[in-house]
């Protein structure tokens, strides 16, 4: 999956073939690209050399040098406190800083981010090799909540938040009602905003629509996961209980 902006999301499968090969442990992602361009990779019996090619792990048969490959079943789940100034991507052709530089990619070459935080947005970013769970976490029908804390321009009064609580309409349609509250008043205002959608730059657009553009944006939680005291720029593995909680969050349609 190639991530999209801020709270945006896309379907995780089909995924890029080189990413799938990395997840299977065939090689690093860059090494997987070399395998492809050398003509050593087949999908359903056909040689695939195009680096933009995608596969659906649920039905496509992938092989390297004629030997079938598949994930080993031991998926990885990591939480990053993303700092500003990093793209939520695993590789950038222009050489800009990306979150892969903060993660243990040599040990886990198949990692990918679940959704996206924008370049200047900080906070909780989940990275995993589990495409099925990631797809469910991002799917709108499961309504997985994300809590953001923002500093917005100007003094914002509680009554001004009512359009967001009712469900404001943006240029791409109406939003679901959000839970919003003022945390700290002043020349600029700190607010908390919890949404269950994942539309492109949704939080930023919501506050701009009520006349208070976002100056800083930070994601404090994603579903049952809490960022807690994890330092900025650092990552940790999820506990077994946290992985179970994620699975429970998408177990039933809400």
Instruction: Kindly state whether residue 160 falls inside one of the protein's structural domains.
Output: yes
- Domain-embedded: residue 102: no
- Return the pLDDT at 73: 62
Domain count, the chain: 2
Which residue positions in the chain have pLDDT lower than 50?
1-12, 253-254
Among 44, 68, 92, which residue terminates a domain?
Answer: 68
Residues designated as active site: 118
Q: Determine, yes or no, domain membership for 48.
A: yes
pLDDT in tens, 60-70: 889 988 888 87
- Residue-wise burial string across 73-84, b where 16 or more C-beta atoms lie within 10 A, e elsewhere: eebbbbbbbbbb
Beta strand 173-174 pairing with 41-43? unpaired
- Run of H or E residues at 174: strand 173-174
For residue 36, tell me if it sits in a domain: yes
Which residue range forms the structural domain that includes residue 55? 15-68
Q: Which CATH number does the domain housing residue 31 bear?
A: 3.10.290.10
Residue 175 lies in a domain: yes
196 belongs to a structural domain: yes
The whole-number pLDDT of residue 6 equals: 47
Q: Which of 68, 98, 130 is the last residue of a domain?
A: 68
> Cα separation of 81 and 103, whole Å?
11
For the segment 22-52, what is each residue's pLDDT rounded down to a tens digit? 778 777 677 788 899 999 999 999 999 999 8
Determine the pLDDT at residue 154: 97
- Report residue 88 as tokens: 């939520």
pTM over 0.85: no
């Amino acid at each position: 999956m190639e991530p999209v902006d801020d709270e945006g999301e896309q379907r995780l499968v089909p995924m890029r073939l080189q990413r799938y090969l990395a997840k299977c442990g065939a090689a690093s992602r860059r090494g997987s690209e070399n395998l492809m361009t050398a003509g050593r990779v087949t999908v359903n019996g056909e040689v695939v050399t195009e680096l933009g090619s995608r596969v659906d792990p649920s039905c496509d048969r992938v092989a390297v040098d004629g030997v079938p490959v598949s994930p080993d079943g031991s998926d990885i789940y990591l939480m990053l406190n993303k700092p500003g100034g990093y793209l939520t991507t695993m590789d950038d052709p222009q050489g800009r800083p990306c979150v892969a530089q903060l993660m243990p990619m040599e040990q886990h070459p198949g990692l990918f981010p679940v959704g996206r935080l924008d370049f200047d947005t900080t906070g909780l970013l989940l990275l995993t090799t589990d495409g099925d769970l990631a797809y469910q976490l991002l799917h709108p029908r499961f309504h997985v909540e994300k809590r953001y804390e923002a500093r917005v321009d100007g003094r914002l009064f509680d009554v001004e938040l009512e359009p967001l609580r009712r469900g404001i309409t943006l240029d791409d349609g109406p939003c679901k009602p959000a839970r919003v509250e003022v945390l700290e008043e002043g020349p600029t205002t700190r607010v908390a905003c919890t949404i269950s959608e994942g539309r492109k730059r949704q939080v930023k657009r919501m506050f701009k629509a009520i006349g208070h553009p976002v100056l800083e944006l930070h994601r404090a939680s994603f579903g049952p996961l809490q960022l807690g005291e994890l330092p900025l720029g650092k990552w940790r593995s999820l506990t077994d209980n946290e992985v179970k909680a994620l699975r429970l969050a998408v177990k039933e349609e809400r």
